[in-house]
Structure 1
Amino acid sequence: MAALLQNLYQPTRGKLLLDGKPLPHYEHHYLHRQVAAVGQEPQLFGRSFQENIAYGLIQKPIMEEITAAAMESGAHSFISELPQGYNTEVGEAGSQLSGGQRQAVALARALIRKPRVLILDDATSALDANSQLRVERLLYESPERSSRSVLLITQCLSLVKQADRILFLEGGTICEAGTHEQLMKNRGHYWTMVQAPGVLGTPE
Structure 2
Amino acid sequence: STVAALLQNLYQPTGGRLLLDGKPISEYEHCYLHRQVTSVEQEPGLFSGSVRDNIAYGLKSCSDEKVMAAAQAANAHGFIQELEHGLSTDVGEKGKQLAAGQRQCLAIARALVRNPRVLILDEATSALDVQCEQALQDWKSHGDRTVLVIAHRLQTVQSADQVLVLRQGELREHSELMEGQDLYSRLVQQLLE
| TM-score between both structures, scaled by the size of structure 2 | 0.90
Q: CA deviation at 1:169?
A: 2.1
Match of 1:109 in 2: 110
Query: 1:130-170, CA deviations, whole angstroms, 9 ceiling, x for partnerless residues?
Result: 10111112x13x161xx211111012222322322211223
Counterpart-to-counterpart distance in 2, 1:184 and 1:3? 28
The one-letter code sitting in structure 2 at the alignment partner of 1:177 is E
> Is residue 124 of structure 2 the alignment partner of residue 129 of structure 1?
no
> Is residue 191 of structure 2 the alignment partner of residue 190 of structure 1?
no
Counterpart-to-counterpart distance in 2, 1:171 and 1:186? 16
Counterpart-to-counterpart distance in 2, 1:86 and 1:23? 36
Q: CA deviation at 1:187?
A: 3.9
Counterpart-to-counterpart distance in 2, 1:119 and 1:6? 9
Which of 160, 163, 168 does residue 166 from structure 1 map onto? 163
Match of 2:86 in 1: 85
CA contact (8 A) 1:69 1:108 kept: yes
Query: 1:66-113, CA deviations, whole angstroms, 9 ceiling, x for partnerless residues?
Result: 111111111111111111111011111111112111100000000111
CA contact (8 A) 1:168 1:190 kept: no
> Per the alignment, in what secondary structure is the counterpart of residue 51 of structure 1?
helix
Segments of 5+ residues of structure 1 without an aligned counterpart are none
> Is residue 91 of structure 2 the alignment partner of residue 94 of structure 1?
no
> Per the alignment, in what secondary structure is the counterpart of residue 149 of structure 2?
strand
Aligned residues: 190
> Per the alignment, in what secondary structure is the counterpart of residue 119 of structure 2?
strand
> Per the alignment, in what secondary structure is the counterpart of residue 11 of structure 1?
coil
**1:171-182 pair list within 5 angstroms:** 171-174=168-171, 176-179=172-175
For the aligned residue pairs, the C-alpha RMSD in angstroms reads 1.8
Query: 1:35-66, CA deviations, whole angstroms, 9 ceiling, x for partnerless residues?
Result: 111010010111100000000123x1111111
The one-letter code sitting in structure 2 at the alignment partner of 1:106 is A
Counterpart-to-counterpart distance in 2, 1:72 and 1:149? 15
Match of 2:147 in 1: 150
| TM-score between both structures, scaled by the size of structure 1 | 0.86
Q: CA deviation at 1:126?
A: 0.3
The one-letter code sitting in structure 2 at the alignment partner of 1:109 is R
Call closer, same or farther: CA 1:143–1:48 in 2, change over 3 Å.
Answer: closer
> Per the alignment, in what secondary structure is the counterpart of residue 150 of structure 1?
strand
Identity %, equivalent residues: 53
Call closer, same or farther: CA 1:54–1:143 in 2, change over 3 Å.
Answer: closer
Counterpart-to-counterpart distance in 2, 1:162 and 1:152? 11
Counterpart-to-counterpart distance in 2, 1:187 and 1:163? 22
Segments of 5+ residues of structure 2 without an aligned counterpart are none
Match of 2:57 in 1: 55
